[in-house]
Amino acid sequence: MVGERVVWAGEVAIPAGPVSLGADLTIPWDPHGLVVFAHGSGSSRHSPRNRLIAEVLQEAGLATLLMDLLTEAEEAVDRRSRELRFDIPLLAGRLRSAADWVGTDGRLSGLPLGTFGASTGAAAALMLAADLPERVAAVVSRGGRPDLAGAALERVSAPVLLVVGGADDLVLKLNEGAREQMAQAEVRLEVIPGATHLFPEPGALERVGELARDWFVQHLT
């Protein structure tokens, strides 16, 4: 992002009960909203895929918060057990801590809030939207597992964009099922033709960024 368009960028610490989570916050001039990123299975705020999408959102005048949902110690445990990445209530609770922290920061507290979730992080983002309908104004899922949000899907009322690769067959079916459960919400399913789970195909991730940008601009500004 062009430097002169950023009013503040740096690392912040998000208090979450007994732990503190690292996060990267970027605030453009006159932001129209804030998007909190929930990373997926085995990933972190350093995910190059989500950082690329965050830059697209920043160019559109949206502040972004890319945070780790697990501490370093928890990540070490998860690399062996692969259990914490599927503990959706835990991850959603960490996102709620971020939403609470945002409310205490005068630069961010008045901004409409959106969430961007990837893989299992999408389920956490949707669970947060179900728990805080008055706070979360829009959700985008990239190659997500919204099905893991379970019964919370029925309570989601925020507009939801589900982006899935056309060659990601199982995840596509799971997203189609989750879409049917979110009867209270405006839900759109966008399929990127030929794309696989991580969208490595030429132009696929860029298309995800465009779709996410347009969805958040529409519903946050």
Q: What CATH number is given to the structural domain containing 62?
A: 3.40.50.1820
- Contact call for residues 219 and 188 (beta carbons, < 8 A): no
pLDDT at 43: 77
The rounded distance, in Å, linking the Cα atoms of 42 and 33 is 27
pLDDT at 185: 98
Query: What's the total number of domains in the chain?
Result: 1
**Which range of residues forms the domain containing residue 132?**
3-220
Tell me the pLDDT of the chain (221 aa) as tens digits.
445 689 999 999 999 999 999 999 999 999 999 999 998 766 789 889 999 999 999 999 999 999 999 999 999 999 999 889 999 999 999 999 999 999 999 999 999 999 999 999 999 999 999 999 999 999 999 999 999 999 999 999 999 999 999 999 999 999 999 999 999 999 999 999 999 999 999 999 999 999 999 999 999 98
pLDDT at 1: 43
The number of angstroms, rounded, from the C-alpha of 16 to the middle of its chain's C-alpha atoms is 17
The rounded distance, in Å, linking the Cα atoms of 117 and 20 is 20
pLDDT at 191: 98
The rounded distance, in Å, linking the Cα atoms of 109 and 118 is 24
Half-sphere exposure of 18 (CA within 13 A, CB side): 2
